[in-house]
């Protein structure tokens, strides 16, 4: 099993941030199914201020490239991503078109 941490920012609007959090208490069932069918074992979101962190625990078959291809071919995922992007914004150092940026692990206790 592998673990990844990805980050992005939310738009600095407390009402929109509250809405974003409320939506994530009732994620669309088709999105949950898509996540579960992508070799993702667990996904967690954390927020401080406008900074978001996503922790992914994945099995050995997981691939970011395969995930991107599956997501691009899934109209529901594309609708969800467009909706989520209305709340989100890229990190200042993100590449053009990049949403969630993979964080570099710099320490591990184990």
pLDDT number for residue 12: 98
Q: State whether the Cα torsion 80-85-91-94 is positive or negative.
A: positive
Q: What tens-digit pLDDT sequence spans the chain (110 residues)?
A: 999 999 999 999 999 999 999 999 999 999 999 999 999 999 999 999 999 999 999 999 999 999 999 999 999 999 999 999 999 999 999 999 899 999 999 999 98
CA pair distance 24, 27, nearest whole angstrom = 5
- What is the C-alpha to C-alpha distance for residues 51 and 91, in angstroms, rounded to an integer? 9
Q: Which domains does the chain have, with CATH numbers?
A: 2-89 (3.30.70.1090)
So what's the pLDDT on residue 110? 86
pLDDT for residue 69: 97
- What are the beta bridge partners of residue 42? 57
């Amino acid at each position: 099993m592998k673990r990844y941490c990805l980050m992005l920012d939310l738009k600095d609007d407390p009402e929109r941030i509250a809405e974003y959090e409320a939506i994530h208490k009732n994620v669309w069932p088709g999105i949950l199914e898509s996540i579960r069918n992508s070799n993702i074992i667990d996904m967690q979101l954390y927020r401080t201020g406008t900074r978001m962190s996503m922790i992914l625990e994945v099995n050995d078959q997981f691939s970011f490239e395969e995930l991107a291809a599956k997501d691009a071919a899934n109209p529901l995922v594309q609708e969800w991503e467009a909706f989520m992007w209305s709340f989100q914004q890229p990190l200042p150092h993100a590449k053009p078109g990049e949403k969630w940026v993979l964080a570099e692990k710099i320490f591990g206790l184990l």
